[in-house]
């Protein structure tokens, strides 16, 4: 990094996560909107609130925050609670128009889907911004969400898409949809869902991961979204007005026809955009975090296809098979009858020539304990291909048998052509890329069933083996031994040994263990973390070179179980975890965030680099004085953008406000662009009127999120594409 750039960074507020708003956005906002305090938490005292959250949050590692961090979240929530109108859910006009759409035909190269195209490659052939001029990138326009919609989020991960001169993005906890002029950032229209009580009880309250776009070639252009209250909505892309011929005045109630549970309220919503292919809208779902579910029974995460014109239901694919259907016998003791989840909460992809949709399916109810659902549990934690016209199963591969690690398939499968073979690539939290013939499901490289440790948790059922691909090489670390943990000095080594002496260590798929095991241990130290490895941001694939680029994080988790009888009918639920660091230093050896390039022609890693600078707290640590620490990267989640000439990456929410252009062949940093905030959403790119833009949401950790567009100054624009 240049001295000039370092000086600039010193002038920008760092994302230290010291304030409650930032901490809430990171650890709580996936399941809760701050406005929930008005109803759900309004009767709690500050002490009661602190007591509950410190034992149950964050859901993937309960109790793992420091005391001052829990206090900061409490202060943030109670400041909102008594601040008057800030937490009030306003009722806005359903559609607000702000400017007349520029209907002059402007030449464009769009970014029409979550992953650029329906193949989820996150690649664009546009090369106006190249290795020579990328240093000249500047901010073309900024769009501030604080003026629109209900309770604007600090962290907005909605993936902006662009088609017909407009950028479309989700906005705010109630998931309004904005249409923005792609050239100048001016608002064209805003659509507001106004779901009332339906929103209040929603499983997922946020701006979502994006929207879908549909056009039929005969003038019909639609933006399709799923609301927090789990309604499918079709809007005129030019005006934002609901399509009166779709469902009931533009809306389809997605809760109708679901296989629900009698033991709890309807736990279903969605955060990812639907997928539109061949006039069919394919819809997945999401649920509340399942580390400590209130019941072993839950709504099932069936995937459904709807007519893009009428909204009529066309088909349903049962992710947990009904009795008599293929896969039912992988659920022993009839556990398929009551077990839920196994949804597709991640983005999807498709092959339009084969008419196949690829479904990355999550784990079943109970992320850490599966004793109530013995068996391999098809089609949970599987990659499944279904026919887009009928929803019929074409092929499947279960990537985790009987998942008790929360190793969901969390990203859109990448559809690619590799050495004249049609393949689909599923990235995983475990940092493996599984590669299949996308028509037949046959593995491209051998996948071996490897024997794994067995659980000793009472009542648990574990698979004897788990599938491990021979190639490609893993792009991040997995499993934990003492050699994987920091040992910079004798003092640090002793502190690490004292912290882990009561934990079990082992290879990937070492199962969770009891917090009060008979052998005196208090849980299993595990790598990767339940969020990966890689996650929903996915990777980027270069169709010209067959190189795959993947961002990932290296972060430890403690898989510890406690008696759940006081809160649920599940025997064991996740137990609180201590913070897995000593003297403020994470236990795992760095890098903590990286980008890896894999040559898919061979399956071998070409290069990997730390993504992000070493945190200042590490550089300033008195316990590391005199020790040369290599560039560590940040354990954040950054989406990638791949173009004909460059690889782009920020550091993700929580990292420095920097956006970097890398040489694709080496990972070398070509240019570093300082942003007003850190990258929140994956970036996308498009060209309109012969000008290339790169856009993404950003956050400064304090203010409502923004959408920002970068482009070249006129003097350095060469007009090529």
Q: Where are the alpha helices (DSSP H) in 596-656?
A: 616-619
Spatial strand order of the sheet with 658-663 comes to 123-124, 640-643, 646-650, 658-663, 669-674
Quote the pLDDT of residue 54. Answer: 64
Q: Pull the structure tokens for residue 270.
A: 């969605």
**Average pLDDT for residues 480-503, to the nearest whole number?**
98
Question: CA-to-CA distance for 526 and 503, rounded, in angstroms?
Answer: 10
Quote the pLDDT of residue 638. Answer: 84
Question: CA-to-CA distance for 396 and 392, rounded, in angstroms?
Answer: 11
**Average pLDDT for residues 409-436, to the nearest whole number?**
98
How far lies 170's CA from each of 159, 381, 540, in Å?
8, 28, 23
Question: CA-to-CA distance for 529 and 507, rounded, in angstroms?
Answer: 13
For residue 413, name the pLDDT band (cuts at 50, 70, 90): very high
| Percent of all residues in the chain with a pLDDT value above 90, rounded to a whole number | 75
Quote the pLDDT of residue 75. Answer: 60
Quote the pLDDT of residue 440. Answer: 99
Question: Where are any strands of DSSP class E within 555-622?
Answer: 557-563, 572-574, 581-582, 585-586, 593-599, 604-610
Quote the pLDDT of residue 660. Answer: 98
Question: CA-to-CA distance for 412 and 408, rounded, in angstroms?
Answer: 12
How far lies 106's CA from each of 102, 109, 110, 689, 690, in Å?
9, 10, 11, 6, 9
**Average pLDDT for residues 601-629, to the nearest whole number?**
97
How much is the mean pLDDT over the chain? 89
pLDDT digits (tens, 9 = 90+) for 21-73: 556 655 665 555 444 444 455 556 666 665 666 666 666 566 667 666 666 67
Strand, coil or helix: what is 280?
strand
Quote the pLDDT of residue 89. Answer: 45
For residue 308, name the pLDDT band (cuts at 50, 70, 90): very high
Half-sphere exposure (Cβ direction) of 423: Cα atoms closer than 13 Å: 23
Quote the pLDDT of residue 91. Answer: 57
For residue 77, name the pLDDT band (cuts at 50, 70, 90): low
CB-based contacts of 6, cutoff 8 Å, min separation 6: none
Q: Give the residue carrying structure tokens 């970068």.
A: 710
Least confident span in 154-158, 375-379, 437-441: 154-158
Question: CA-to-CA distance for 249 and 270, rounded, in angstroms?
Answer: 21
454 secondary structure, DSSP code: P
Nearest to 61, CA basis, from 506, 451, 566, 587: 587
Nearest to 645, CA basis, from 127, 10, 268: 127
**Average pLDDT for residues 645-664, to the nearest whole number?**
96
Least confident span in 260-269, 335-344, 584-593, 619-628: 260-269
Q: Pull the structure tokens for residue 519.
A: 């052998």
User: How many CB atoms neighbour CB 490 within 10 A?
Assistant: 8
Q: What is the DSSP string of 215-229?
A: E-SSS-EEEEEE-TT
For residue 194, name the pLDDT band (cuts at 50, 70, 90): confident
Instruction: Give residue 317's Cα distance to chain centre.
Output: 23
pLDDT digits (tens, 9 = 90+) for 221-261: 999 999 999 999 999 999 999 999 999 999 999 999 999 98
The structure's pTM equals 0.91
Distance from first CA to last CA of the chain, Å, rounded? 30
420 secondary structure, DSSP code: T
For residue 721, name the pLDDT band (cuts at 50, 70, 90): very low
Strand, coil or helix: what is 483?
helix
**Are 174 and 192 contacting, i.e. CB atoms less than 8 angstroms apart?**
yes
pLDDT digits (tens, 9 = 90+) for 516-570: 999 999 999 999 999 999 999 999 999 999 999 999 999 999 999 999 998 899 9
Question: CA-to-CA distance for 73 and 56, rounded, in angstroms?
Answer: 13
For residue 19, name the pLDDT band (cuts at 50, 70, 90): low
How far lies 538's CA from each of 27, 348, 595, in Å?
21, 11, 11
Quote the pLDDT of residue 16. Answer: 38
């Amino acid at each position: 990094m240049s001295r000039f750039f370092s000086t600039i960074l010193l002038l920008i507020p760092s994302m230290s996560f010291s304030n409650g708003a930032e901490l809430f956005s990171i650890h709580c906002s996936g399941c809760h909107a701050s406005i929930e305090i008005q109803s759900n938490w309004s009767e709690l005292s500050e002490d009661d609130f602190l007591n509950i959250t410190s034992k149950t949050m964050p859901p993937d590692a309960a109790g793992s925050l420091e005391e001052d961090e829990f206090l900061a979240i409490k202060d943030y929530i109670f400041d909102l609670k008594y601040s008057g109108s800030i937490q009030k859910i306003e009722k806005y006009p359903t559609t607000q128009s702000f400017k007349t759409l520029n209907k002059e035909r402007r030449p464009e190269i769009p970014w029409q889907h979550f992953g650029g195209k329906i193949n989820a490659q996150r690649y664009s052939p546009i090369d106006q911004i190249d290795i020579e001029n990328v240093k000249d990138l500047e901010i073309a326009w900024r769009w501030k969400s604080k003026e629109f919609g209900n309770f604007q989020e600090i962290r907005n991960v909605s993936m902006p898409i662009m088609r017909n001169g407009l950028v479309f993005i989700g906005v705010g906890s109630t998931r309004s949809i904005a249409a923005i002029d792609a050239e100048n950032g001016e608002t064209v229209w805003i659509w507001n869902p106004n779901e009332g009580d339906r929103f209040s009880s929603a499983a997922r309250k946020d701006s979502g991961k994006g929207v879908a776009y549909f056009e039929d070639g005969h003038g019909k252009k639609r933006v399709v979204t799923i609301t927090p209250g789990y309604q499918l909505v079709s809007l005129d892309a030019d005006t934002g007005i609901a399509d009166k011929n779709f469902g009931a005045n533009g809306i389809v109630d997605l809760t109708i026809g679901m296989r629900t549970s009698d033991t709890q309220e309807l736990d279903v919503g969605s955060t990812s955009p639907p997928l539109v292919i061949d006039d069919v809208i394919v819809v997945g779902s999401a649920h509340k975090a399942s580390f400590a579910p209130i019941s072993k029974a839950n709504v099932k995460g069936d995937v459904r296809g709807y007519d893009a014109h009428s909204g009529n239901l066309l088909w349903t694919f049962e992710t947990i098979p009904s009795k008599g259907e293929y896969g039912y016998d992988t659920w022993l003791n009839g556990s398929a009858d009551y077990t839920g989840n196994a949804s597709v909460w991640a983005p999807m992809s498709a092959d339009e020539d084969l008419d196949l949709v690829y479904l990355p399916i999550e784990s079943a109810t109970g992320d850490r304990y599966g004793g109530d659902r013995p068996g391999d549990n098809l089609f949970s934690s599987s990659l499944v291909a279904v026919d887009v016209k009928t929803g019929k199963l074409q092929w499947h591969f279960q990537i985790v048998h009987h998942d008790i690690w929360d190793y969901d398939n969390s990203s859109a499968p990448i559809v690619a052509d590799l050495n004249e073979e049609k393949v689909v690539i599923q990235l995983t939290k475990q940092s493996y890329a599984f590669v299949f013939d996308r028509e037949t499901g046959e593995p491209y490289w051998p996948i071996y069933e490897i024997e794994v440790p067995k659980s000793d948790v009472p009542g648990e059922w574990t698979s004897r083996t788990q599938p491990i691909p021979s190639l490609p090489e893993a792009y991040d670390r997995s499993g934990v031994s003492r050699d994987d943990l920091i040992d910079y000095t004798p003092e640090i080594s002793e502190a690490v040994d004292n912290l882990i002496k009561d934990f079990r260590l082992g290879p990937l798929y070492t199962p969770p263990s009891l917090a009060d095991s008979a052998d005196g241990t208090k849980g299993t130290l595990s790598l990767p973390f339940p969020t990966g490895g890689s996650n929903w941001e996915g990777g980027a694939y270069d169709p010209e070179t067959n190189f795959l680029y993947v961002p990932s994080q290296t972060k430890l988790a403690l898989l510890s179980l406690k008696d759940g009888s006081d809160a649920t009918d599940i025997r064991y639920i996740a137990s609180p975890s201590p913070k897995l660091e000593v003297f403020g230093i994470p236990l795992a050896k760095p890098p903590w965030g990286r980008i890896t390039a894999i040559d898919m022609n061979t399956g071998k890693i070409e290069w990997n680099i730390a993504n992000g600078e070493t945190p200042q707290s590490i550089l300033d640590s008195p316990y590391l004085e005199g020790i040369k620490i290599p560039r560590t990267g940040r354990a954040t989640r950054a989406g990638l953008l791949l173009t004909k000439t460059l690889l782009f990456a920020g550091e993700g929410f929580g990292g420095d406000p920097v956006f970097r252009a890398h040489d694709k062949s080496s990972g070398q940093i070509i240019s570093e662009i300082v942003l007003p905030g850190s990258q929140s959403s994956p970036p996308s790119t498009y060209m309109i009127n012969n000008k290339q833009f790169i856009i993404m949401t950003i956050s400064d950790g304090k203010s409502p999120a923004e959408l920002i567009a970068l482009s070249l100054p006129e003097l350095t624009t060469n007009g090529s594409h």
